[in-house]
């Protein structure tokens, strides 16, 4: 009989493909471990091999960022970089990468400590308890209680056994009886203990971060620390003089400057058009002169400063005009052309010289921009007010300025480079409409995600596969390893890929909401991506399981909320192997690919082949952008999974692989934040309260699951005693918000130090002290001070120099295949990118 006939005649039992009991699979973890090790080791060894050969990518930040210059050099040996990275201190992280990187790594370090302690406790106490007692079926389990588990049936010390209503009778001596549910009191005790342990570590780390943050921000002096964002300004106060008089009459300090946001949309649109024209000119010149024959048009020193005085700018414009007009090239090589459309409804067209056409368009546009910069624009209800001191700014943002509700609201200003200027002149109503529209769209999108997430398990069920592809179902039933790959390896891989792909969509949506700063956008991305990972990947996949039973379980749960707790508890126990494999794949299999920067490596040959102009090559060697919203939600989900499974029989394995994930993640992201990637946003560590609130959500789920697990064994007294932890966790979240969150948003007045004050210990180390007689020198500048030097709160489109096209390509830009060692290319391109790329990126940031 062929395989198709066998499949048709076989009685199919619908099972959850991620439930190891239902499938009888014992080797799923081994298969996932081999797969993860194969992926992870190949990526890790690839990184170790490429790192010294491709420094333009793997040491981009170290080579191009002044703040990273003080970091120790990493040896070029295969593993020599690892001990040097390990020895980089938290103080060096602060000095070179700032508060955001410090807080991000602090979460991983705290998790390492917490799960290290929990793993030891679980191995010493809970694992033996689960080994001896947690073998009885829970209500709804298909396991026949008359059949003893293999562990005990093959163990002569246990002898024969039987199951009574409330006791386990061990018939080796005919007398010994163990209460069936007594061991569940240990679950109750450790639910309280692990909740307290998690809150203790979280609170301790919060207090340490607050101390570091207050000392760090209190010891520096930047324009951001002295500036407030004043919103909801009434029409009668929308002038610099009136705003200044209003604030100074409050007697909180002197006003240094006022920038009222105006409707600059027309000017911003012209600057966007100009950037497009500049690129067109660069492409035309590259085609005309070839990649190795163009000449430099603008002095490198001018590009480095980004600012030219009037004489230099006039001279530069003359040189550009002369060189741009001169037909200095071989006569046999024609100049590039472009087709233009004109006449009635633009129905006529003709070809013209591309260089002359685009340069003429650029000249006309520059004249319009120069005129537009001199115009007066309609003021909006938003302004940036810079005070003369940090205490004055902090008093303004921590006080009510006006007795009218929703009027004259003072908030801390974002950094000047962080402001999304195109959103500053949007009406408040427009921003609110955008925010609510995106929120509603995400709710609809969340419902849409139910289809692939809940359907994933159903499609990988053997019965579902048999309905579509009987031959494959028959093949899987005969090969356990292949079955484990398809039913466990494939779901974890698909879920992991969703966690990688979905953040890009939510990042785009967050940028469309109309937020004032990129820091706020990044915090929004963290919130959105966590909601997806927690709700869709964890709750939906766990509580409702396969698509075949999703709607039925959902309807029953809505009718009886206690059923949700039972379903969640039963599913959590059944999905232990699935989540072990998920954490294993994330930590061992995929984290090395983040270290390898697989996306940048794979895209580089494509981008290199498409690069034509010097600007294109300069952008190739810019450090990749590190986005916390892409990495932090997955780490928080794994934190929650470790907490939820910590007491259950699979807890020691979940904690072990979770500990591996946080150890590997800490050093992976430490390397990227310090040496390889850049983080231009300026959130001053404000992601930490978001992390803490989501930890508390995870603790609530942990307590709900434990109450359900205990109740499933009819131990209702200990299950009921778990319930008080849930309102306690809710109260603590309120207490955390009232006690600690203000110190994560503001600078305490006592923390603010004058320039003459002694420098202080920031990260538990003595830094910045230089005792010469009685004089104490202030410590070195922070990352924020270096970044904001000479910065002002003003729309760059009003003041930025009108950059000229980059026409400077040496023999490196010859169109050859990508080389592994890009140092010569980097040195050439970097010299071009020092000034103009900064200006170009400012323009891009200003018009996101």
pLDDT tens, residue by residue, 235-266: 999 999 999 999 999 999 999 999 999 999 99
Q: Indicate if 725 and 647 belong to the same structural domain.
A: yes
Which one-letter DSSP state was computed for residue 179? E
DSSP assignment of 500-550, as one string? HHHHHHHHHHHHTT--SBHHHHHHHHHHHHHHIIIIIIIIIHHHT-SGGGH
Q: Which of 282-291, 541-550, 787-796 has the lowest mean pLDDT?
A: 541-550
Per-residue pLDDT tens digits for 182-202: 888 999 999 999 999 999 999
pLDDT of residue 75: 93
pLDDT of residue 558: 53
Q: Is the pLDDT of residue 226 over 50?
A: yes
Q: Indicate if 592 and 580 belong to the same structural domain.
A: yes
Q: 3-state class of 230 per DSSP?
A: strand
| Nearest one of 663, 599, 662, 661 to 627, comparing CA atoms | 599
Give the sign of the dihedral formed by CA 41, CA 43, CA 44, CA 50.
Answer: positive
386 vs 470: CA distance, rounded Å = 71
Q: Is the pLDDT of residue 806 over 50?
A: yes
pLDDT of residue 26: 53
Q: Are 216 and 99 in contact (CB under 8 A)?
A: yes
Per-residue pLDDT tens digits for 642-654: 999 999 988 999 9
Q: Is residue 21 part of a domain?
A: no
Q: Are 163 and 145 in contact (CB under 8 A)?
A: yes
137 vs 139: CA distance, rounded Å = 7
Q: How far is CA 578 from the centre of its chain?
A: 24
Q: Indicate if 255 and 300 belong to the same structural domain.
A: no
Q: Is residue 756 part of a domain?
A: no
DSSP assignment of 375-386, as one string? S---EEEEEEEE
Q: Is residue 767 part of a domain?
A: no
Which one-letter DSSP state was computed for residue 768? S
pTM over the 0.85 mark: no
Give the sign of the dihedral formed by CA 795, CA 796, CA 801, CA 804.
Answer: negative
Q: Indicate if 549 and 446 belong to the same structural domain.
A: yes
Q: Is the pLDDT of residue 126 over 80?
A: yes
Q: Indicate if 637 and 512 belong to the same structural domain.
A: yes
Q: Is residue 12 part of a domain?
A: no
Final residue of a domain: which of 749, 769, 786?
749
468 vs 482: CA distance, rounded Å = 18
Q: Is the pLDDT of residue 840 over 90?
A: no
Q: Indicate if 357 and 495 belong to the same structural domain.
A: no
Number of compact structural domains in the chain: 4
Which one-letter DSSP state was computed for residue 68? G
Per-residue pLDDT tens digits for 391-418: 999 999 999 999 988 899 999 999 999 9
Q: Indicate if 529 and 620 belong to the same structural domain.
A: yes
Share of the chain above pLDDT 90, in %: 45
Q: How far is CA 132 from the centre of its chain?
A: 42
Q: Is residue 293 part of a domain?
A: yes
Q: Indicate if 196 and 329 belong to the same structural domain.
A: no
Size (the chain), residues: 848
Q: Is residue 717 part of a domain?
A: yes
Q: Indicate if 646 and 667 belong to the same structural domain.
A: yes
Please give the residue range of the domain that contains residue 173: 135-182
Task: For residues 153-169, give the mean pLDDT.
Answer: 36
pLDDT of residue 475: 73
Q: Which of 271-285, 340-354, 565-579, 703-717 has the lowest mean pLDDT?
A: 565-579
Q: Is the pLDDT of residue 312 over 70?
A: no
* Four-point Cα dihedral 706, 710, 712, 716, nearest 10: -120
Q: Are 240 and 260 in contact (CB under 8 A)?
A: yes
**Cα→Cα distances 44→34, 35, 40, 678, 819, Å:** 15, 14, 6, 21, 21
Q: Is the pLDDT of residue 86 over 80?
A: yes
Contacts of 308 (CB under 8 A, 6+ apart): 302, 316, 801
Mean pLDDT score of the chain: 77
Final residue of a domain: which of 414, 439, 470?
414
Q: Indicate if 396 and 439 belong to the same structural domain.
A: no
Q: Is the pLDDT of residue 16 over 70?
A: no
pLDDT of residue 454: 65
Q: Indicate if 529 and 670 belong to the same structural domain.
A: yes
**Residue 389 is part of a domain; what is its CATH number?**
3.30.70.330
| Higher local confidence (pLDDT), 109 or 840 | 109
502 vs 528: CA distance, rounded Å = 10
Task: For residues 667-681, give the mean pLDDT.
Answer: 91
pLDDT of residue 768: 42
pLDDT of residue 551: 54
Q: How far is CA 172 from the centre of its chain?
A: 57
Place of tokens 């301790």: 204
Q: Is the pLDDT of residue 797 over 60?
A: yes
| Nearest one of 290, 396, 317, 417 to 842, comparing CA atoms | 417
Q: Is residue 812 part of a domain?
A: yes
Q: Is the pLDDT of residue 617 over 50?
A: yes
Token representation of residue 331? 């006569």
Final residue of a domain: which of 386, 414, 442?
414
pLDDT of residue 368: 94
| Nearest one of 184, 86, 187 to 670, comparing CA atoms | 86
Q: Indicate if 279 and 250 belong to the same structural domain.
A: no
Q: Is residue 483 part of a domain?
A: yes
744 vs 685: CA distance, rounded Å = 7
| Higher local confidence (pLDDT), 307 or 239 | 239
Q: Is the pLDDT of residue 695 over 60?
A: yes
């Amino acid at each position: 009989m062929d395989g198709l006939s066998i499949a048709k005649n076989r009685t199919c039992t619908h099972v959850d493909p991620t439930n190891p009991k239902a499938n009888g699979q014992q080797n799923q973890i081994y298969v996932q471990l081999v797969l993860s090790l194969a992926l992870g080791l190949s990526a890790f060894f690839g990184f170790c091999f490429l790192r010294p050969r491709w420094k333009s990518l793997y040491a981009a930040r170290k080579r191009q960022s002044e703040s990273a210059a003080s970091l120790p050099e990493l040896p070029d040996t295969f593993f020599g970089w690892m001990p040097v990275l390990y020895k980089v201190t938290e103080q060096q992280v602060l000095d070179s990468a700032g508060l955001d990187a410090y807080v991000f790594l602090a979460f991983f370090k705290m998790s390492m400590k917490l799960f290290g302690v929990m793993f030891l406790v679980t191995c010493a106490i809970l694992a033996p308890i689960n080994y001896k007692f947690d073998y009885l079926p829970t209500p709804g389990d298909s396991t026949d209680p008359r059949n003893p588990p293999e562990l005990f049936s093959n163990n002569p010390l246990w002898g024969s056994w039987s199951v009574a209503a409330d006791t386990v009778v061990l018939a080796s001596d005919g007398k010994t009886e163990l209460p069936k549910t007594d061991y569940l009191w240990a679950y109750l005790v450790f639910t309280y203990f692990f909740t307290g342990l998690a809150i203790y570590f979280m609170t301790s780390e919060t207090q340490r971060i607050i101390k570091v943050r207050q000392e760090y921000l209190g010891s520096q002096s930047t324009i951001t620390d002295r500036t407030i964002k004043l919103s909801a300004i009434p029409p009668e106060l929308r002038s610099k003089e009136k705003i200044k008089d209003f604030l100074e009459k409050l007697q909180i300090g002197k006003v240094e400057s006022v920038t009222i946001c105006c409707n600059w949309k027309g000017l911003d649109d012209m600057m966007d058009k100009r950037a497009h024209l500049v690129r067109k000119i660069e492409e035309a010149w590259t085609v005309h002169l070839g990649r190795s024959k163009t000449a430099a048009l603008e002095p490198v020193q001018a590009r480095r400063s980004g600012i030219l005085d009037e004489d230099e700018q006039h001279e530069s414009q003359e040189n550009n005009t002369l060189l741009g007009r001169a037909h200095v090239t071989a006569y046999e090589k024609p100049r590039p052309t472009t087709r233009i459309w004109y006449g009635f409804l633009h129905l006529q067209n003709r070809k013209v010289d591309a260089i002359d056409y685009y340069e003429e368009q650029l000249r006309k546009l520059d004249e319009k921009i120069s005129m537009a910069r001199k115009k007066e624009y309609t003021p909006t209800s938003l302004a940036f007010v810079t005070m003369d001191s940090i205490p004055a700014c902090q008093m303004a943002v921590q006080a009510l300025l006006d007795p009218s509700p929703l009027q004259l609201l003072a908030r801390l200003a974002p950094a000047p480079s962080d402001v999304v200027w195109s959103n500053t002149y949007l009406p408040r109503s427009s921003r609110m409409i955008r925010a609510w529209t995106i929120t509603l769209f995400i709710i609809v999108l969340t419902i849409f995600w139910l289809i692939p997430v809940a359907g994933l398990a159903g499609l990988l069920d053997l019965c579902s596969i048999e309905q579509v592809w009987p031959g494959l179902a028959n093949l899987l039933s005969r090969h356990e390893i292949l079955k484990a790959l398809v039913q466990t390896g494939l779901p974890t891989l698909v879920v992991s890929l969703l966690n990688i792909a979905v953040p890009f969509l939510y990042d785009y949506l967050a940028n469309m909401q109309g937020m004032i700063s990129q820091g706020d956008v990044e915090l929004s991305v963290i919130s959105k991506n966590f909601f997806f990972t927690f709700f869709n990947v964890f709750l939906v996949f766990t509580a409702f399981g396969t698509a075949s039973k999703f709607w039925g379980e959902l309807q029953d749960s809505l009718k009886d909320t206690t059923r949700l707790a039972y379903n969640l508890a039963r599913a959590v126990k059944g999905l232990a192997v699935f989540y072990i494999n998920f954490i294993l794949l994330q930590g061992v299999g995929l984290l090395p690919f983040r270290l390898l920067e697989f996306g940048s490596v794979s895209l580089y040959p494509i981008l290199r082949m498409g690069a034509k102009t010097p600007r294109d090559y300069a952008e190739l060697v810019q450090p990749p952008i590190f986005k916390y919203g892409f990495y932090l939600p997955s780490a928080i989900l794994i934190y929650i999974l470790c907490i939820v499974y910590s007491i259950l029989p699979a807890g020691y394995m979940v904690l072990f692989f979770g500990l591996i994930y946080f150890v590997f993640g800490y050093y992976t992201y430490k390397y990227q934040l310090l040496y390889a990637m850049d983080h231009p946003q300026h959130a001053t560590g404000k992601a930490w309260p978001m992390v803490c609130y989501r930890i508390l959500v995870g603790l609530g789920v942990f307590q709900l699951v434990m109450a359900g697990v205990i109740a499933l064994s009819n131990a209702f007294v200990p299950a009921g005693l778990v319930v008080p932890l849930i309102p306690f966790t809710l109260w603590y979240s309120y207490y955390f918000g009232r006690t600690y969150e203000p110190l994560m948003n503001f600078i305490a007045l006592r923390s603010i130090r004058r320039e003459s004050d002694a420098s202080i210990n920031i990260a538990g180390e003595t830094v910045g002290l230089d005792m010469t007689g009685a004089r104490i020198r202030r410590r070195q500048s922070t990352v924020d001070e270096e970044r904001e030097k000479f910065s002002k709160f003003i729309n760059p489109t009003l003041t930025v120099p009108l950059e000229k096209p980059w026409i400077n390509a040496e023999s490196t830009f010859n169109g050859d295949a990508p080389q592994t060692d890009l140092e010569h290319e980097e040195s050439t391109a970097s010299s071009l990118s020092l000034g103009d790329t900064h200006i170009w990126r400012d323009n891009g940031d200003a018009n996101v």
